[in-house]
Amino acid sequence: MSEIAKLLVGDNTYEFPLIQGTENETAIDIKALRGISEGVVTIDPGFKNTGSCQSAITFLDGEKGILRYRGYSIEELAEKADFLEVAYLLIFGDLPTEEQLSKFHNDILENTIVDDDIKKIIDAFPKNAHPMGVLSSLTSALTAFNPSSVNIDSEEDMYNAIVKIMGKFPVLVAWTMRKLKGLPLNYGSKKLGYVENVMKMMFEKPNEDYEINPIVKNALDKLLILHADHEQNCSTSTVRIVGSSHAGLFPSISAGISALWGPLHGGANQAVLEMLEAIKADGGDTKKYMGKAKDKEDPFRLMGFGHRVYKNFDPRAKIIKVAADEVLTDLGVQDPVLDIAKGLEQEALKDDYFVKRKLYPNVDFYSGIIYRAMGIPVEMFTVMFALGRLPGWIAQWREMRLRKEPIGRPRQIYTGANHRPFVNINER
């Protein structure tokens, strides 16, 4: 292939270099366009075909259904690794040795206490506040209690901010749920692993010793790994763009949480379960809801279906579907919405509307069913997604800072009024 792209604008031809990735993806580097063409810019709302950066963290091929973190396939990582190993891999680039993992874990454990005044902030929220709003606010508030995390001037500052947020974030996640359930705020233990501590802090009752259920632990590890990164999605792009102004790690993550909240992104896992429950309450007629999803006059969409990038299948959804079956069987839970979900999937896979538009179940279609079987309330599902995505956001923020990327600042094409004289209020 030629090494350049040519663009004809009016009578002028401009040449641009091509950039090739390690998996042979090709991009046209149009950085110079505006300067050499008297102000012409490219436009691509929703960034459907625009690369915002070069990244060595996650590779995905939406046509082939491939997802890899740092070169390792998601299937292998979900089967063989634990969440903390994957977090290390994403953030630092390679699988850790036992020594590296143990140091990382110990450094995190040293940072698992949050300032007790955070409890006052939690107390000020109404009990029915959405946990994503609470989590985003608490993550931002962490900056005030950890001022040394604000200015990152060296790799050491960066490492310290990373182990701090890795340590404190699960506490905030657990406390957000405990507030929702009216349970006293607790802490983990230095004797437990990362995911075990998440479970202890979330599920421990004040009047009994908490015992780790290995089925729940394995399922949670897997779910967190599957959510850990997904290259330049809405929330990750948000983290990178906020961080590009050299805002610290914590406010960048807080912004990512807000972006994740929406039902078109991470909020879909809550929306899926609410949708499945509504279908069940309405008699379980999946055909009726398939019809609604296809009707352009009806705002209803099949939540948990479709993806901006995956146009074949979402490899995470395949793993989660199997896990949902296993976890529910192992825990002895019978959830009728699992059958409704499978029914919808089967119908969609043979329906022309879905096949033509390449709409397949995404990561969120089955995850909520597992979370609910574990005893996690539906409003917390997106918070669990955020917990899994934390290492990905950190890795992307770190990469953006180490590569010294410029501040994110897109252009626009103005379509408003031309210059007009001001009209005094009594003359309008």
Select the residue interacting with ligand ACO from 280, 301, 311, 318 (CB under 6 A): 301
- At its nearest, how many Å lie between ligand ACO and the CB of residue 338? 17
Which two three-digit tokens encode residue 143?
């900056």
The minimum distance between CB 256 and ligand ACO, in angstroms, equals 13
Q: Which is nearer to ligand ACO, 115 or 379 (CB)?
A: 379
Type of residue found at 45: P
Q: Compute the least distance from the CB of residue 24 to ligand ACO, in Å.
A: 23
Catalytic residue among 307, 325, 335, 351: 307
Q: How far is the CB of 310 from ligand ACO (least distance, A)?
A: 8
Q: List the catalytic residue out of 221, 229, 314, 364.
A: 364
Q: What is the DSSP letter of 154?
A: S
Min. distance of Cβ 305 from ligand ACO in angstroms? 4
| Residue of this chain nearest to ligand ACO (CB atom) | 306
* Window 303-342: residues binding ligand ACO (CB under 6 A): 303-308
Cα–Cα separations (whole angstroms), residue 295 to 206, 268, 275, 291: 50, 20, 17, 6
- Give CA–CA dist 160/162, Å, rounded: 5
Cβ atoms of 360 and 304 closer than 8 Å: no
307 is catalytic: yes
Residue 67 and residue 74 in contact, taking contact as beta carbons nearer than 8 Å = yes
Nearer to ligand ACO by Cβ, of 161 and 323: the residue is 323
Q: Is 325 an active-site residue?
A: no
Q: Which is nearer to ligand ACO, 149 or 236 (CB)?
A: 236
The H or E element spanning position 227 is: none
* Contact between 292 and ligand ACO per CB under 6 A: no
Binding mask 248-287 for ligand ACO (x = CB under 6 A): ----------------xxx-x-------------------
> Judged by CB, which is closer to ligand ACO: 149, or 270?
270
Q: Quick check: 90 and 398 in contact, CB under 8 A?
A: no
Specify the amino acid at residue 3. Answer: E
Count of positions (residues) in the chain: 428
Contact status, residue 249 vs residue 397, Cβ threshold 8 Å: yes
Nearer to ligand ACO, 197 or 236 (CB): 236
Is-contact 361 345, C-beta < 8 A?
A: yes
Site track for ligand ACO across 356-375, x = CB under 6 A = -x-x--xxx-----------
At position 187, the amino acid (one-letter code) is Y
By beta-carbon proximity to ligand ACO, the closer residue of 70 and 265 is 265
Shortest reach from residue 306's CB to ligand ACO, in Å? 2
Strand segments, DSSP code E, in 21-140 are 26-28, 58-61, 66-69, 72-73
Question: What is the C-alpha to C-alpha distance for residues 391 and 395, in angstroms, rounded to an integer?
Answer: 6
As a whole number of angstroms, the distance between CA 272 and CA 317 comes to 13
Contact footprint for ligand ACO (CB under 6 A): 264-266, 268, 293, 301-308, 357, 359, 362-364
Residues involved in catalysis: 307, 364
